[in-house]
Amino acid sequence: MNLPRISALALRIATQFRRDHRTLAMIIVAPMVILSLLAYLINLTPSSMQVGVVVEDASPVAQRLAQELRALPLFQTQTASRDRVEDLIRGGGLEAVIIIPQGYGLRSAGQSGPDLEVVVDGSRSRTAPAVLQGLARATARVAANQVGASLPQPQVTYVHAGPEYTTLDYFAPTFIAFFSFLFVYLLTAIGFLRERSQGTLERLTASPLTKAEMVLGYMVGFSIFALAQAAVILLFTVYVIGIHYQGNLLIVFLIVAVLSLGAVNMGIFLSTFAATELQAVQFIPMVITPQTLLAGIFWPIPDMHPIFQWLAHLLPLTYANFAMQEVMVKGKGLLDASVQADIGALLLFAAAQVALASFAMRRART
Amino acid sequence: MSNTYALQARGLVKRFGAITAVDNLDLQVEPGVTYGLLGPNASGKTTLIRLLMGILPPTRGQSTLLGRPVPDRVLRTRLGYMPQALALYEDLSVQENVSFYARLMGNYTPARVEEAVGLVDLSARAKSIVSTLSGGFKRRASLACALVHQPAVLFLDEPTVGIDPHLRVEFWNHFQRLNQQGVTIVVSTHIMDEAERCTRLGLLYQGRLIAEGTAKELRERAKADTMEQAFLAFSDESKAPP
């Protein structure tokens, strides 16, 4: 292993990259824009819904329920009549109508009576769950009022994170890792492809540079920017977007560096299957997108089919996601066994990619 | 194999599937000469150069370079290579390209880089980004990258393709100066006129070395006035049934 050769390669890559202002801007600005949009959209306050209430029962329970429904902050209620329900929804005036039928009050007296009826638009995914949630809240208030009690207000104690944590605080750590993974893969794949197409790989092959030195040179060259990118994104998410986090940020960098090692080699490996830069980009929907779906970022892995669970545990982004959550949300350190296991899995992935990249380099040479 | 040759190959064969690119080839090149590999396109010139340098493993046969068996990674610091493609980083300057290869070869000093850039008459454009240069200037830069570490053996794969006659003459004069300094040059070409400038020639046809000698010897043996006629005569002879 010859350090001057590795540093020569890393220095060359860094010089080329530094000169490519557009790419440089892309790897810094694009994640910032995406994270800012995410922060805005995740914290979006849902707009109120136009809900019609038909009260056919004169009992105090029915009147009280109508009153609770009108008091819900998400509902903009208006009184309606049963014969106009469908017209009002089809005309776009209402998203849903709740009907309190004649005799509903008998149910509260322990007798049999008709149940509530709900008519929803159905063309929007949010309507039915939101109406049923609001209805459950209103009926619970009525029931509590009947027995002279109030709704329970449990005292919640957080072992990790806290009540101030929003959905973004759980997403942001994984996105920091994801952006590094994506850009390091993309830049290495295209960089190595160019190395082949412009003939410089042949000249490198004729030099004393070994395959291991080439892999390391590429890794160091691109990792400098991957870490710089991670630093900028991290500072941006912490200080500009204002996410909450715990744990040591140096461990976050370590996780990104190990993930980048795998991404560099994956880029070299996959680039040998691409003849053009466009083809290297086309690997993204095949290799990167499934990882974002299966890595447990949006949907919990235990809820998935066993085959997808098994697949998820083969993907580096899954372990990066676990590790980032452990460190940034739970505040765990390097001495924690789960963090060690996640970093170990990332190292294993990197080792497998180094083997594949070495094989690919031999294939590219002959 | 003898150590008196800068380069020696015995029984070299390279097959790519059903295609035999180099077919049972023997070769000896003395030190300090320019050895020309002359042949039409797809005659195996580039494959032979890659085999001789050790960047492509042979299917069969063996070769030595400067007395050492090929491949030898240490030996590569003493070899220079100018591939047929420009093999330059277009977004780097001439100086940065040359410096990079000097560092890879473990032979970097700013003075050496300056000297290599000067040798190919590119000092005035040393700081220019390669993508802004003309084809001829890029060829010069490519040659500087191959020369910067002062190699003992220089492999040039069609170095004068696509350059104007003035630069071609300049390049050949420069190769002669390198020979005088003791550098052995193996150069491939399909331009018959250039063959006259080589110390010795190997005529390649369909992966086989069909004739070898000085340009004068080859013309006389083929009873031809030009190298082109000589080449055609030897290739016809090689096609004839024994």
A129 and A90 in a single domain? The answer is: yes
pLDDT digits (tens, 9 = 90+) for A168-200: 888 888 888 888 888 888 888 888 888 888 889
Inside any domain, residue A328: yes
Distance, in angstroms, between A25 CA and closest chain B CA? 17
Residues 9-68 of B with CB under 8 A from A: 53, 55-57
pLDDT digits (tens, 9 = 90+) for B97-147: 999 999 999 989 999 999 999 988 899 999 999 999 998 899 999 999 999
**Residues of chain B contacting A204 with CB distance shorter than 8 Å:** 104
A38 and A84 in a single domain? The answer is: no
Last residue of some domain: A91, A117, A146?
A: A146
Average pLDDT, chain B: 90
Inside any domain, residue A157: no
Binning pLDDT at 50, 70 and 90, where does residue A257 land? confident
Q: What integer pLDDT is reported at residue A322 of this predicted model?
A: 94
A31 and A53 in a single domain? The answer is: no
Query: Is A76 in CB contact (< 8 Å) with chain B?
Result: no
A90 and A24 in a single domain? The answer is: no
Q: Where do we find the tokens 């590094």?
A: A180
A101 and A72 in a single domain? The answer is: yes
Long-range Cβ contact pairs of B127-131 (< 8 A, separation 24 or more): B127/B93, B127/B94, B127/B95, B128/B93, B128/B94, B129/B90, B129/B91, B129/B92, B129/B93, B130/B88, B130/B89, B130/B90, B130/B91, B130/B92, B130/B93, B130/B94, B130/B97, B131/B90, B131/B91
H-assigned helices in chain A = 3-19, 21-42, 60-71, 85-90, 105-108, 127-146, 167-197, 200-205, 211-235, 249-271, 277-283, 289-294, 306-312, 316-324, 337-365
Contact B112, B140 (CB under 8 A): no
A99 and A24 in a single domain? The answer is: no
pLDDT digits (tens, 9 = 90+) for A14-36: 999 888 888 888 888 888 898 89
A28 and A56 in a single domain? The answer is: no
Inside any domain, residue A153: no
Query: Is A338 in CB contact (< 8 Å) with chain B?
Result: no
Packing angle of the helix pair B110-119, B94-104 (nearest 10 deg): 120
Q: Tell whether the model's pLDDT for residue A121 goes beyond 70.
A: yes
Please name the residues in contact with B40: beta carbons below 8 A apart, sequence gap of 6 or more: B190, B205
Q: What integer pLDDT is reported at residue A312 of this predicted model?
A: 94
Q: CATH number, domain at A87?
A: 3.40.1710.10
Inside any domain, residue A120: yes
Rounded CA-CA distance A351/A362 in Å is 17
What is the number of other CB atoms lying within 10 angstroms of the CB of residue A129? Answer: 10
A95 and A223 in a single domain? The answer is: no
Inside any domain, residue A304: yes
Last residue of some domain: A146, A178, A210?
A: A146
Inside any domain, residue A161: no
Average pLDDT, chain A: 87
Token pair for A182: 């994506």
A9 and A59 in a single domain? The answer is: no
Q: Which of B57, B81, B100 sits opposite A8 (nearest CB)?
A: B100
Q: What integer pLDDT is reported at residue B14 of this predicted model?
A: 95
**Residues of chain B contacting A8 with CB distance shorter than 8 Å:** 100, 103-104, 108
Closest chain A residue to B54, measured at CA? A206
Interface A-B: count of C-beta contacts within 8 A: 76
Residues A202, B83: C-beta atoms closer than 8 Å? yes
Number of domains in chain A: 2
Q: What integer pLDDT is reported at residue A363 of this predicted model?
A: 66
Token pair for A330: 């739970």
Residues B105, A207: C-beta atoms closer than 8 Å? yes
Domain of residue A281 covers: 3-42+166-365
Last residue of some domain: A146, A175, A206?
A: A146
Q: What integer pLDDT is reported at residue A167 of this predicted model?
A: 84
Inside any domain, residue A275: yes
pLDDT digits (tens, 9 = 90+) for B212-225: 999 999 999 989 88
A319 and A228 in a single domain? The answer is: yes
pLDDT digits (tens, 9 = 90+) for B142-170: 999 999 999 999 999 998 887 788 888 88
A287 and A321 in a single domain? The answer is: yes
A176 and A300 in a single domain? The answer is: yes
Inside any domain, residue A155: no
Binning pLDDT at 50, 70 and 90, where does residue A364 land? low
Give me the interface pTM, i.e. the ipTM.
0.88
